[in-house]
Chains A and B, each alone.
Chain A
């Protein structure tokens, strides 16, 4: 939005627009009035009003409504509980269990406690 509100860099040399003369100032005001821009000289802080008013309102933003996001903790709990009761089957979970068992058989640590993993040990050496 800030880029749109910056002064135009097009040179209007022949028509006197944006010149520091009284005629130039009057032409700037006329141009802003014609194209629906701010007419009176305004400081940068006050231009925030224009930016806020031209943005999408909060009540219609999809990303801010509860309906936009699924209830992820509930689904996580349901996958665990239903799998425990035998009512839900996930190939990915089964595959990961198989791989973890293979790692254990090969003598590797699948999930080390916090602070004792490979990265933590390397950081400790530094």
Chain B
């Protein structure tokens, strides 16, 4: 229903204009045709009657009067039609469904414009490359190269420009930074003239490939402005002229307490489950470390054998203790006692033996020997 209404409106709009234009432009024959369409035959007959009454004799004035009357009537008819059409068109525009329909028609119109086929596109690109190569050749000849050098150089530059353009496209699709780095590297390689020709070739090639969807779809790269102000590389203003003399002075415990407060606040409010609680206890030393081990925290003693703890009399000859007599007996008692001591390390036991060896030096050995002999003599005398 709405579609038919739209088609009727379009047909009316299409039918009206050429007839008006033709009636305005052309001569008498068309006048009759337009008048016949717009005005009734009764009115036409009335107009002829009036013209005959006013100008019965003169034919030209009669014809001019007739035309004037017809034109005026046609204009009046057009004005009334415009008024009616305006109200109708406003009603049509208020209808949302009709607006949607018009939008769909517009969309369909846009969709019809398709891309050219791939072969045609490739053909155009090749033609463009050929023309570009010719242009670069002419420019090279004008800039002072010989014909042979210009030909070779034009081919080389066009190929390099093509590769560069492909790399630019990849850089746009992937990342912008790589592009800048590559540009900086490549700029140093070419000479000045070659650089000019290369730039020209790049510009023309970008124009050739301008219609691609890739260039239009990819976002525009944001280039870094090297002249912008760098906030963190500024020089000091020079307001404080004795800055290096000042020191940061504060008491140690304030810093410790601030760090502890930060640790407490960052550590939330304690363990959230039993496993974390036991980990905390183990760290503080309130709980055995699991899996259980009875050599827990032995330290260096875990590498010491029980032989070093128990068999201590083998150290006595090297320390200078005599092998017989009262001193030997005493040292035997010391070794037996130390071999039963579970609270000392092996090194500490050896230190004890060394101390006794230092105590029983040569003089004291003689003294003990003399006293022992006296004791023996006294015993014999007593018997």
Name A residues whose Cβ lies closer than 8 Å to a Cβ of B: 36-40, 42, 46-47, 49-57, 60
CA distance in complex: A39, B340 (Å) = 15
CA distance in complex: A39, B333 (Å) = 9
Q: Do residues B340 and A36 form an inter-chain contact, with CB atoms below 8 A? A: yes
Q: Do residues B344 and A52 form an inter-chain contact, with CB atoms below 8 A? A: no
Tell me if B330 is interfacial: C-beta within 8 Å of chain A: yes
Q: Do residues A53 and B329 form an inter-chain contact, with CB atoms below 8 A? A: no
Q: Do residues A36 and B339 form an inter-chain contact, with CB atoms below 8 A? A: yes
CA distance in complex: A103, B52 (Å) = 149
* 8 A Cβ contacts from B268-300 to A: none
- With A36-B310, A40-B329, A42-B329 already in contact, the answer to whether A49 and B340 are too (CB < 8 A) is no
Tell me if B27 is interfacial: C-beta within 8 Å of chain A: no
* 8 A Cβ contacts from B347-366 to A: 348, 352
Count chain A CB atoms within 10 A of each CB in B330, B336, B338, B341 and give the residue with the most. Answer: B336
Q: Do residues A56 and B336 form an inter-chain contact, with CB atoms below 8 A? A: no
* 8 A Cβ contacts from B290-348 to A: 310, 329-330, 332-334, 336-341, 343-344, 348
CA distance in complex: A40, B339 (Å) = 17
> Which chain A residues lie closer than 8 Å to B344 at the CB level?
57
Chain A residue at minimal CB-CB distance from B310: A36
Contact of B333 among A49, A55, A57, A60 (CB under 8 A): A49
Q: Could you name 7 residue pairs across A and B whose Cβ atoms are closer than 8 Å?
A: A38-B332, A46-B330, A49-B333, A50-B333, A50-B337, A53-B337, A56-B341
CA distance in complex: A46, B337 (Å) = 12
Q: Do residues A53 and B338 form an inter-chain contact, with CB atoms below 8 A? A: yes
Q: Do residues B343 and A46 form an inter-chain contact, with CB atoms below 8 A? A: no
Given A47-B333, A50-B336, list of 12 further CB < 8 A pairs?
A36-B310, A37-B336, A40-B329, A42-B329, A42-B333, A53-B336, A53-B340, A53-B352, A54-B337, A54-B341, A57-B343, A57-B344
Q: Do residues A46 and B333 form an inter-chain contact, with CB atoms below 8 A? A: yes
Count chain A CB atoms within 10 A of each CB in B310, B329, B337 and give the residue with the most. Answer: B337
CA distance in complex: A66, B341 (Å) = 24
> Which chain B residues lie closer than 8 Å to A51 at the CB level?
337
> Which chain B residues lie closer than 8 Å to A37 at the CB level?
336
> Which chain B residues lie closer than 8 Å to A49 at the CB level?
330, 333-334, 337
Q: Do residues A60 and B343 form an inter-chain contact, with CB atoms below 8 A? A: yes
Q: Do residues B340 and A54 form an inter-chain contact, with CB atoms below 8 A? A: yes
CA distance in complex: A36, B336 (Å) = 6
Q: Do residues A56 and B332 form an inter-chain contact, with CB atoms below 8 A? A: no
> Which chain B residues lie closer than 8 Å to A46 at the CB level?
329-330, 333
> Which chain A residues lie closer than 8 Å to B330 at the CB level?
46, 49
A-B pairs with lowest CB-CB distance, top 9? A53-B337, A50-B337, A54-B340, A56-B343, A49-B333, A54-B337, A54-B341, A53-B338, A50-B333
Q: Do residues B332 and A40 form an inter-chain contact, with CB atoms below 8 A? A: yes
CB distance from B338 to the nearest CB of A (A): 5
Chain A residue at minimal CB-CB distance from B349: A53
CB distance from B376 to the nearest CB of A (A): 16
Chain A residue at minimal CB-CB distance from B326: A46
CB distance from A102 to the nearest CB of B (A): 42
Q: Do residues B332 and A39 form an inter-chain contact, with CB atoms below 8 A? A: yes
CA distance in complex: A40, B348 (Å) = 26
Q: Do residues A53 and B332 form an inter-chain contact, with CB atoms below 8 A? A: no
CB distance from A55 to the nearest CB of B (A): 7
> Which chain A residues lie closer than 8 Å to B334 at the CB level?
49, 53
CA distance in complex: A105, B381 (Å) = 86
CA distance in complex: A57, B340 (Å) = 13
Contact of A38 among B310, B336, B343, B352 (CB under 8 A): B336
Chain A residue at minimal CB-CB distance from B330: A49
> Which chain A residues lie closer than 8 Å to B341 at the CB level?
53-56
